[in-house]
Amino acid sequence: GDSVTQMEGPVTLSEEAFLTINCTYTATGYPSLFWYVQYPGEGLQLLLKATKADDKGSNKGFEATYRKETTSFHLEKGSVQVSDSAVYFCALSDRIAGGTSYGKLTFGQGTILTVHP
């Protein structure tokens, strides 16, 4: 079945440091890829997405590129802020041939990010 593997956490950085959270996936079809963020006490929020190979999703300074050849979707940010402290989830959405998505999301285990001033 489909699966998503994220880098081990937690990750602790100083403000303005560069962030990378690795994500690789296994899928039988051609999935859409997502990064979600969860702040304390809240539900998950979509951070960015990519739907086909070489697409780059971006939002709030975060970026991730859909790499089909390495089955990866690594999250990056050039300069993190204290307010970026949260749990980050990589996810994929299965899709049957022809492009119609079932929308069933498979999540990685999450990576806790803490940013210190």
Partner 1 sequence: DARVTQTPRHKVTEMGQEVTMRCQPILGHNTVFWYRQTMMQGLELLAYFRNRAPLDDSGMPKDRFSAEMPDATLATLKIQPSEPRDSAVYFCASGSTGAWAAEAFFGQGTRLTVV
Query: CB neighbours of 100 closer than 8 A, spacing ≥ 6?
Result: none
User: Scanning the structure block, which residue is given the tokens 């050039």?
Assistant: 78
| SS3 state of residue 3 | strand
Beta carbon of residue 106, minimum distance to partner 1 (angstroms, whole number)? 8
Q: Is 28 in the site for partner 1 (CB under 8 A)?
A: no
Nearer to partner 1, 79 or 109 (CB): 109
Nearer to partner 1, 70 or 100 (CB): 100
Q: Is 35 in the site for partner 1 (CB under 8 A)?
A: no
